[in-house]
Amino acid sequence: MAWEAGVERKEKPTDFLSRLKEIKGDISEVKARELLGELLQYDLGFTWELLTGGQFKVWPFQEIFLKGWFKKDYSLTVAGRGVGKSYLLAVFILLYLIFNPGAKIILVSSNFRRSKDIFNQMEKFLNHPRCVLLRQCFEQENKSGTKVKIGKDQSGWTLKCLNEAIVKGLPLGGGENLRGERANVLVIDEGLLVSEHIQDTILRPFLTAKLNAKEQAETKEREDRMIAAGLIKEEDRTIFPNNKMIVTSSASYQFEYLYEGLFVPYIDAIRGKKNDKNKEIEKDLSTNPTHFVVRFAYNAPPAGSILDESVLNEQVRGKEHNPVIRREYGAEFVDASDSYFDIKKLHECTVPSGHSPTVQVFGNKRAQYILAIDPSYGTAKTSDYFAMGVYMIVPEDQRIYQVHSYGKAGCDIAEHYEYLTYILTHFNIVWFVIDGSGTEFINGYNNSVIAERNNIKLSYISADLAADDHHEYSKAVRQARNEWNLTNKTIVYAQPFSAPTLRTMNEYLQDGVSAGKIWFGSGIQYQESLYNEIVNGFKLPYQFKDDSDKPYDIGTFLEDQEDWISQTKRQMALIEVKSIGNGTTLQYNIPSHLRKSTSEKRARRDNYTCLLMAYYSSKHYFNIMRSDDRPALNSFIPIAF
């Protein structure tokens, strides 16, 4: 690793061990307690091992992270896959609470589930049988002292230390629960997915309140008098810690906020170079802030420490120049030009926070929507997603907006039937495209109890819209125009897939991205009135489950809808194009090393496939609707919430 200290504010080095050796004779109990406290803060690795009874340890390079987060005002840690950012954040939070009485930490992420995962990791530490000393520092749930109390509800999760320090994990939903919140430490996990608008306008204001403001003012007055009397010098003043902001994340592209808004300005600040963003950061804090920036790749940890060498050998070795490897494992901010799809354009075609359309849980009754399904019947959690996408269409501009998504792996087919019914009854679906190999799903659905109960029967459009010849395609459009019927749900088109059609569809999608014909709905969490209206007034029609098989609450459901937007774009960023066979056939897929993964969290492409089918099918639908004798559109009123 290469380290650069730059021109940051210098701190007096603490040679604690040398000072400890110089102590002669007996010392008082009070002095012994003070020295023990200093020792524990000096050697955080030793402290963590002591508190956890030797059950949990941190590696020396992880201790560097912990010390950087402890000492510096602004920290950014960009790390490759598998480095354990969330694990180490849990360690940091517990230690910081213990060493800073009265401190308040706020933990946020783009998705509340990620914050919960860090709390769950803390809970695992605290309730382990060997972590007796650690557990004794926190409020107990029972008199026996065998379990720590973590407050859990939809407004947030909390953990309190006996010294009045507290950490809160908050969902970002609606913004109402964040009003008036203040913190000494703001921790943002997976900062790549938290927008500039959210970080600057909602989260940074958390840090406006100082810890121990009265004590700091009194100390300053006392030291002013001592300096005037010649007892101490200006450089001997007590340096109180500023409030902290810690961001951890995977790497992203150079055009995104994580790079342009945080990484570059923080590096410039360390080097003493001023820029506009730098000035904003300094303005936030009363003194000249310090920074700690780490970019930690897969090859930085010592061999045999935290990364599985067999996985690295299979997925990374020999592919170090691949842009996906550089970004995912090398923690490198890459240029977007290496992607088949224009990722920067996808970023620009995401509706900004606070604008419409947002992601939706029910349709606008004046709008029309395309539904796309990429089915999967695997029974394992590691199988492909059974994916669905709902796209609002703007016929006059021939544009589509992704506003609703679904993806589940390894669940019962009945769950997919319920979700399809939910979409058909809450959105004005005027065109329904499904992978041609998935017709058995439609047939099964038509014969299901849930379809019968809701009086739904889907029918196919038989026209061959995959015809290459212009004359044949025009004939197919006329046939589809005559078959299409919204009243009796003759709206389903089975999309055939072959090497030629895949190439045509991907090139059409690539052109659509470049032309700005594909848009992604904005997050609904930051439109407070709309968010609260849905959370308080809308009820999911079935007990849908998340990817952990836990029943959805509406707030988490909305968070996941926003996450699917990001996932779709990330899947598109992974698509590689390779020549196969005799070189005339092109394959569009995610990299082979990612396809080989057996993790439940493995990379997939199923939501990209839905978008691929939806955008290509929108061309057919627009052509049908442009016909002179096109069928009359039936009105649709979604179920009221």
Q: What is the DSSP string of 505-565?
A: HHHHHHHHHHTT-EEEPBPSTT-HHHHHHHHHH---SS--B-TTS-BPPHHHHHHHHHHHH
Can you tell me which residue has the tokens 């730059």? 6
> What are phi and psi for residue 111, nearest 5 degrees?
-135, 130
Helix H or strand E encompassing 187: strand 185-189
In the Cβ-directed half-sphere of 245, how many Cα atoms lie within 13 Å?
A: 20
Q: Report pLDDT for 431.
A: 97
Helix H or strand E encompassing 291: strand 291-296
Residues of the chain with pLDDT below 70 are 1-2, 9-14, 145, 174-179, 209, 211, 276-287, 309-311, 313-314, 581-584, 628-641
Measuring CA to CA, which residue among 456, 421, 430 is closest to residue 367? 430
In the Cβ-directed half-sphere of 377, how many Cα atoms lie within 13 Å?
A: 7
Cα dihedral value 538, 542, 543, 546, nearest 10 = -80
* 52 CA to centre of own chain: 30
Contact 403, 376 (CB under 8 A): no
Tokens of 314: 């299979």
Distance set, CA 7 to CA 10, 64, 289, 295 (Å): 8, 19, 11, 19
Q: Report pLDDT for 286.
A: 47
Would you tell me how many other CB atoms lie within 10 Å of the CB of residue 461? 24
Q: Report pLDDT for 594.
A: 78
Contact 331, 354 (CB under 8 A): no
Sequence-ordered list of residues with C-beta below 8 angstroms from that of 252, at least 6 positions apart, any chain: 192, 258, 259, 327, 333
Indicate the DSSP class of residue 37. H
Q: Report pLDDT for 76.
A: 95
Alpha carbons 418 and 445: distance in angstroms, whole number? 10
Q: Long-range contacts of range 627-636, CB-CB < 8 Å, 24 or more positions apart?
A: 627/477, 627/478, 627/481, 629/481, 630/481, 631/481, 631/484, 631/485, 631/486, 633/368, 633/430, 633/486, 634/486, 634/487, 636/363, 636/365, 636/428, 636/486
Contact 603, 568 (CB under 8 A): no
Name all domains of the chain by residue range, CATH numbers in brackets. Answer: 16-296 (3.40.50.300), 339-626 (3.30.420.240)
Sequence-ordered list of residues with C-beta below 8 angstroms from that of 337, at least 6 positions apart, any chain: none
> What are phi and psi for residue 382, nearest 5 degrees?
-90, 0
Alpha carbons 471 and 452: distance in angstroms, whole number? 40
- Read off the pTM: 0.84
Cis peptide before 357 (omega within 30 of 0): yes
Sequence-ordered list of residues with C-beta below 8 angstroms from that of 150, at least 6 positions apart, any chain: 119, 122, 123, 157, 158, 159
